[in-house]
């Protein structure tokens, strides 16, 4: 069986691939920034979990998301292969450069206040991968990809917490030492 073959319609896969809601890239960016990049890790986990189920491999999506500095390049390659298999192939240009930028900006999080904020730019390197994955999911209805018009309840909670923490963080940066 090829890695990304069209699913066989049996009972198990019908239940597994019912719906995979996808937000717009703009909402993805908002969630990444509001959650200080944690939504990007969540998306990587969900994407690795999708590939684990689809390829029927024994990978651990949680560990791949946690160690995304080491696995992001592989995720980009896998998304390219997946997009090619759906027929809507628009490859991610320079996946190695995107991975390098993602790694470098994530490592800049170790900078002192307020310079660590630069690390939030790492979410920008996730956007091309997210767009390609989203387009591929919407291209092939067999995968269950569907547009999500509004933020879900969990996403609204993440946004609310993000606003609170951003407010506290900005307030804290204005305080004298």
In a domain, 11, yes or no: no
In a domain, 23, yes or no: yes
In a domain, 3, yes or no: no
In a domain, 78, yes or no: yes
Q: Per-residue pLDDT tens for 123-144?
A: 889 999 999 999 888 887 777 7
- Count up the domains in the chain and report the number: 1
pTM above threshold 0.85: no
**Is a pLDDT exceeding 90 seen at residue 170?**
no
Average pLDDT over residues 85-112: 85
User: What is the domain range of residue 131?
Assistant: 18-174
In a domain, 4, yes or no: no
In a domain, 22, yes or no: yes
Mean pLDDT of the chain: 83
Average pLDDT over residues 100-106: 90
Average pLDDT over residues 7-34: 70
In a domain, 13, yes or no: no
**Is a pLDDT exceeding 50 seen at residue 12?**
no
Average pLDDT over residues 74-99: 87
The band of 146, judged by pLDDT with boundaries at 50, 70 and 90, is confident
**Is a pLDDT exceeding 70 seen at residue 52?**
yes
Q: Which long-range contacts (CB under 8 A, 24 or more apart) does 142-149 make?
A: 142/6, 142/7, 142/17, 143/7, 143/17, 143/20, 143/54, 143/86, 144/17, 144/18, 144/19, 144/20, 145/20, 145/22, 146/19, 146/20, 146/21, 146/22, 147/21, 147/22, 147/24, 148/21, 148/22, 148/23
């Amino acid at each position: 069986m090829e890695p990304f073959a069209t699913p066989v319609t049996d009972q198990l896969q019908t239940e597994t691939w019912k719906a995979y809601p996808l937000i717009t890239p703009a909402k993805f960016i908002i969630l990444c920034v509001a959650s200080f990049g944690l939504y990007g890790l969540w998306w990587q986990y969900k994407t690795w979990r999708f590939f684990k189920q689809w390829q029927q491999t024994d990978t651990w999506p949680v560990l791949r998301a946690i160690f995304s500095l080491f696995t992001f390049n592989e995720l980009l390659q896998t998304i390219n292969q997946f997009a090619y298999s759906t027929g809507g192939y628009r490859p991610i240009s320079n996946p190695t450069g995107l991975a390098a930028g993602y790694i470098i900006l994530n490592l800049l999080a170790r900078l002192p206040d307020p310079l660590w904020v630069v690390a939030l730019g790492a979410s920008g390197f996730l956007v091309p991968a997210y767009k390609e994955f989203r387009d591929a999911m919407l291209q092939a209805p067999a995968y269950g990809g569907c547009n999500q018009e509004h933020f879900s309840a969990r996403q609204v909670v993440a946004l609310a917490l993000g606003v609170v923490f951003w407010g506290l963080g900005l307030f804290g940066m204005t305080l004298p030492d």
